[in-house]
Amino acid sequence: MRILLVEDDNMIGAAVSVALKDAAYAVDWVKDGITAVGVLKNGEHQAVLLDLGLPGRDGLEVLRRLRLDGNTIPVIVITARDGVKDRIEGLDFGADDYLVKPFDINELLARLRAVIRRQGGQAAPLLGNGRVTLDPANHRAQCGDTAVILSAREFALLHALLLRPGAILARAELEERIYGWNEEVESNAVDFLIHGIRKKLGADAIKNVRGAGWMVEKSA
């Protein structure tokens, strides 16, 4: 799961980046609105954390542009503006949620999980396909009687697959969801992670579709 963080405050941006990475998200961080609009055109990210007071182009302007372009990516606005009017404006401009600074990082993570699962069409907190279940709040995965805690990247990979059971994700698509711009990706990293997950949950937890990629089966 790859997040775009748009924040011009270095201290807040660094703290949020670290917390997101610790929670197994890949994070790309930009510091102004114009760069954010450009980056979001690439469709690499699954959610946006958007500050409102930004140099170049205001966060509300970024949000308006995004929705005018038909982009439905989940957006959580994070801002020091706590006036009711600002909050209403943010939501009316197409934000999915709103957090006022200073905020508790755990609340941010919980809100992020909520907007991401709703984007995937799921209201329930657990992801699953009838065989494997995954709890994004604690990275606990279960397959039959076997319950394990996945590593951050194993979680990120299984999460990407379980958001769309039945869909095949190619190596490049998985890498894109697991790694940010400035992270080195080793050529066999995905195989290594798949191997680790299968070892923990059983070989049939993830299906290899030869030449195409990997999937988790859709429940019958």
Residue 97 contacts Ca ion per CB under 5 A: no
Q: Which stretch binds Ca ion (CB under 5 A): 14-22, 48-56, 131-139, 189-197?
A: 48-56
Q: Which of 53, 120, 196, 202 binds Ca ion (CB under 5 A)?
A: 53
C-beta nearest to Ca ion: residue: 53
CA distance 84 to 87: 5
Residues that bind Ca ion (rule: CB under 5 A) add up to a total of 3
CB nearer Ca ion, residue 32 or residue 217: 32
CA distance 158 to 192: 13
- Specify the amino acid at residue 201: L
Q: Which of 28, 51, 97, 176 binds Ca ion (CB under 5 A)?
A: 51
Shortest gap between Cβ of 23 and Ca ion (angstroms)?
22
CB nearer Ca ion, residue 52 or residue 143: 52
Q: Which stretch binds Ca ion (CB under 5 A): 4-12, 88-96, 190-198, 211-219?
A: 4-12
CB nearer Ca ion, residue 8 or residue 217: 8
Helices 10-22/105-119 angle, 10° precision:
60
CA distance 185 to 144: 32
Site for Ca ion in 7-26 (CB under 5 A): 8
CA distance 24 to 178: 8
Shortest gap between Cβ of 62 and Ca ion (angstroms)?
12
Which DSSP letter does residue 213 get? E
CB nearer Ca ion, residue 77 or residue 141: 77
Least Cα distance to 24 among 155, 123, 133, 148 occurs for 155
CB nearer Ca ion, residue 53 or residue 165: 53
Q: Is 35 exposed, middle or buried (0-12, 13-18, 19+ CB in 10 A)?
A: middle
Collapsing DSSP to helix, strand or coil, 67 comes out as: helix
CB nearer Ca ion, residue 66 or residue 161: 66
Asked if residue 59 lies in contact with residue 52, where contact means CB atoms within 8 angstroms, the answer is yes
| Binding site residues, Ca ion, CB under 5 A | 8, 51, 53
